[in-house]
Amino acid sequence: MRTPLLECEIDPPKDLLSSWIPLTSLEKMAETTYDVLIVGTGAGGSAVLRRLCEKWGGNEKRIGIIESGDLLLPTHARNLPTMNDERFTKYFLGVSEWIGKTLPDFYGARQLFALGGRTLFWGMAALRMDISEIVKWPVSEKEMNYYYSIAEQVMNVTTGYTKGSSIQEILLKRLRENNFPEAADVATPSDLESTKYGEIHSDVFWSSLSMFAYALNHKPFDLAVNARAVEVFVENGKAAGVKVMNPNKKAYFLKAKTIVLAGSTIETPRLLLNSNIPGRAIGHYLTNHSFLLSTGKVSRQEFTETLGTLSLFIPQTKKRPYQIQMGGPGGEGQWYHWYQPYEEKQLLDELLIGISVFGKVESRFENYLTLDPYERDEYGVPKINVNFSYSEKDKAIIQQMTAALEQASLAMKTPLIPKGDQPAICLMPPGTDYHEACTCRMGNDPETSAVNRFGQIHGVPGLYVADNSMLPSIGATNPTLTTVALSIRTADYIINTLK
Ligand SMILES: Cc1cc2nc3c(=O)[nH]c(=O)nc-3n(C[C@H](O)[C@H](O)[C@H](O)COP(=O)(O)OP(=O)(O)OC[C@H]3O[C@@H](n4cnc5c(N)ncnc54)[C@H](O)[C@@H]3O)c2cc1C
């Protein structure tokens, strides 16, 4: 006779998780001296984190990263099968902060305070800057190409998303044959490989969270959310730490040998100015794109039965200081990555496509952010004011953009249509492009730039910037791929410095 089986005890681990990503409390983080502390988890911050974790692997270096917002989504919102265009837009507008509401000069601006920053909702046009911009930068074309290749690889950038789409092929052909020979497919960070069990690529569309997933599998790091950096400290001329507050306004001091600020074009200079970090260019040279938005009409009859999806662009060139992007079908603001084919709806004879034109804006000292002398936010940090206007040169480019938009619409045979009582072509308020940049711009001269060619604040060893604010210029191109490329480069520099 067999002896009766003994019942095994259930012994769950003590450190259970209540979140989908490991978090560390600020109390615990305050006990550590970090080799690198990153402030902000958007495009720039997550790129630095990924690179450090990949390169440092199992070594003893300590990495911390803090995010002022909470956990919101574990992926890009377009990966959620419950989303469609309407819900996506309303959700983004609902969870982001319309900072432009109180900034007449920069009325369209929005921030997203959440893990992943604005990469949770970005439109994913991942394009390289035109060479006419790069030649003015303190980084060589060769080096930029090297870091662009790395950025494209880590973000899964491809032009294959619209492959085989008849609307894409036909409109591209029409553009190329009618004065726009450079028209091309938009490069998009979308992982189109089939998912194999055991591989980390369940997200089609890239967000910072893909960087966190990779980093987690290479090296442990401490992440705190609801952790707002309010002041940066420098001791003996070097970066020393960051004062951070939780939503209850309890303050912690996080010690770090190296600090990387990645809070965005608005928040990074705000933090630096609030910390009295010297630098004539900090907060200045605010640059965005002038932005025209329009809707074109196409006849469904002109395409094959299987329509496909549209995402193409006419790039900036030396002679063309603007970029035109087309997406759809679905009209203005409705782009190509939706579950719309599955929605039950009437088959239409006429379709709409969205057309955006981004214009180059001069980087001028006179366009700048300042701390409000009177008003503070709930953390006691002065609110931001923005002084921004278009120069005569910017206005002349806006005129050219309008003419080019009409020309492109003729070439594509997609007449522009007014939306309600709005004109067929709208000039969007400054900030609505969400491409603002350059407020801590990179350069060799501390008089005209905030950070040096490696992203370090001039004269303050250990204090770096890695977000859109450090871009030397943005021409007429979407900025994020370049921010990721330069942030990875800054991480490599930090790795060399801390050897
Ligand atoms: C709807 C939409 C569409 C877009 N489409 C495109 C596109 O197609 N192509 C393109 O190139 N770009 C696009 N963008 C812009 C793109 O999202 C930004 O270029 C990119 O996210 C900027 O990265 P960042 O690191 O500078 O800042 P963010 O992504 O904004 O991240 C900054 C992070 O820092 C955190 N933070 C701020 N201050 C503090 C603080 N004091 N303490 C702690 N944390 C802090 C914020 O909460 C946030 O998480 C789009 C943006 C939006 C909103």
CATH code of 69's domain? 3.50.50.60
pLDDT (average), residues 193-205:
82
Q: Which atom of ligand 1 is nearest to the CA of 228?
A: 42
Tell me, in angstroms, the distance from the centre of ligand 1 to residue 491's CA.
19
Name the residue of 122, 230, 470 whose CB sits within 8 Å of the most ligand 1 atoms, as the mutation to test its pocket. Answer: 122
409 CB-contact burial (10 Å; exposed 0-12 / middle 13-18 / buried 19+): buried
Nearest protein Cα to ligand 1, atom 47? 113
**What confidence tier does 215 reach under pLDDT thresholds 50, 70, 90?**
very high
Closest CA to 327 of 341, 311, 314, 315: 311
pLDDT at 334: 59
Predicted pLDDT at 82: 86
Q: Is the CB of 226 under 6 A from ligand 1?
A: no
Mean pLDDT of 185-199: 87
Q: Which atom of ligand 1 is nearest to the CA of 208?
A: 29
The number of CA neighbours under 13 Å toward the Cβ of 49 is 34
Tell me, in angstroms, the distance from the centre of ligand 1 to residue 67's CA.
Answer: 12
Between residues 3 and 364, which one has the greater pLDDT?
A: 364
> How much is the CA Rg of the chain, to the nearest whole Å?
24
pLDDT at 336 over 90: no
* Phi, psi angles (nearest 5°) of residue 155: -100, 0
Cα 424 to ligand 1 centre (Å): 29
- Cα(264) to ligand 1 centroid in Å equals 6
249 pLDDT more than 80: yes
Confidence tier at 339 by pLDDT (50, 70, 90): low
- 477 phi/psi in degrees, rounded to 5: -110, 145
pLDDT for position 155: 97
Tell me if 259 is assigned to some domain: yes
| Average pLDDT of the residues in 141-164 | 96
Ligand 1: which residue has its CA nearest to atom 38?
263
Closest C-alpha to ligand 1, atom 37: 263
- Provide mean pLDDT across the span 50-78: 96
Q: For residue 344, is it within any domain?
A: no
Atom in ligand 1 nearest the alpha carbon of residue 267: 38
Tell me the mean pLDDT in the region 327-336.
Answer: 68
The pLDDT value recorded for residue 287 is: 98
- Ligand 1 pocket residue status of 123, Cβ below 6 Å: yes
Contact 77, 208 (CB under 8 A): no
pLDDT digits (tens, 9 = 90+) for 90-139: 999 999 999 999 999 999 999 999 999 999 999 999 999 999 999 999 99
Nearest to 455 by CA among 319, 310, 268: 268
Q: How confident is the prediction for the chain on average, in pLDDT? A: 94
Amino acid occupying residue 168? Q
d(CA 135, CA 10): 64
Task: Examine residue 99 and state whether it is found in any structural domain, yes or no.
Answer: yes
| Pocket probe mutation, ligand 1, options 152, 288, 434, max atoms within 8 Å of Cβ | 434
In percent, the amount of the chain with pLDDT more than 90 equals 81
Which pLDDT score, from 0 to 100, does residue 419 have?
79
- Does 191 reside within a domain? no
- The number of folded domains in the chain is 1
Please indicate, yes or no, if residue 400 is contained in any of the structural domains: no
Q: Angle CA(264)–CA(478)–CA(93) in degrees, nearest 5? A: 60
Q: Whose CA is nearest to atom 48 of ligand 1?
A: 117
Question: Which are the contacts of 494, defined by CB distance < 8 A and separation ≥ 6?
Answer: 36, 48, 52, 258, 260, 464
CB 483 near ligand 1, within 6 Å: yes
CA distance 471 to 451: 10
Residue whose pair of structure tokens reads 């070097």 in the numeric block: 238
The length of the chain, given as a count of residues: 499
Contact 42, 208 (CB under 8 A): yes
Residue 459 pLDDT level (bands cut at 50, 70, 90): very high
- Range scoring the smallest mean pLDDT among 20-34, 170-184, 226-240, 290-304: 290-304
Locate 428 and state its tokens.
Answer: 């969007």
Q: Which domain holds residue 35?
A: 24-155+206-280+450-499
Using the structure block, give the residue that is written with the tokens 């692997």.
57
Write down the pLDDT at residue 342: 63
Domain-located, residue 377: no
CA 103 to ligand 1 center in whole angstroms:
18
How many angstroms is it from 46 CA to the middle of ligand 1?
11
Instruction: Please give the distance, rounded to the nearest whole angstrom, from the Cα atom of residue 147 to the centre of ligand 1.
Output: 20
Contacts of 386 (CB under 8 A, 6+ apart): 103, 105, 106, 109, 286, 368, 369
3-state secondary structure of 118: helix
Q: How far is the CA of 5 from the centre of ligand 1 (A)?
A: 58
C-alpha to C-alpha distance for 444 and 137, rounded to whole angstroms: 9
Closest atom of ligand 1 to 381 CA is 41
Which stretches of 344-475 are DSSP H helices?
392-412
Q: Is residue 18 in some structural domain?
A: no
| Per-residue pLDDT tens digits for 172-184 | 999 999 999 999 9
- Tokens 């950038």 found at: 157
Q: Is residue 9 part of a domain?
A: no
pLDDT of residue 14: 86
Residue identifier of the C-alpha nearest atom 5 of ligand 1: 123
Q: What is the pLDDT of residue 335?
A: 58
% pLDDT > 70, the chain: 97
Residue 112 CA, ligand 1 centroid: distance in Å: 7
Using one digit for the tens of pLDDT, what is the confidence trace for 340-394?
Answer: 556 677 777 888 899 999 999 999 999 999 999 999 999 999 999 999 999 999 9
d(CA 45, CA 261): 8
Q: pLDDT tens for residues 413-444?
A: 999 999 788 889 999 999 999 999 999 999 99
More confident residue, 134 or 18: 134
Q: Given the structure tokens 């980093």, which residue do they identify?
A: 215
CA torsion sign for 425, 426, 427, 431 is: negative
Rounded to the nearest whole angstrom, what is the distance from the C-alpha of residue 19 to the centroid of ligand 1? 22
Q: Please indicate whether residue 361, judged by its CB atom, sits closer than 6 Å to ligand 1.
A: no
Distance 109 CA to ligand 1 centre (A): 11
Q: Which of 6-20, 131-145, 257-271, 272-286 has the lowest mean pLDDT?
A: 6-20
Which residue's alpha carbon is nearest to atom 31 within ligand 1? 42
* Structure-model confidence comparison of residues 3 and 46, the more confident one: 46
469 near 440, Cβ under 8 Å?
yes
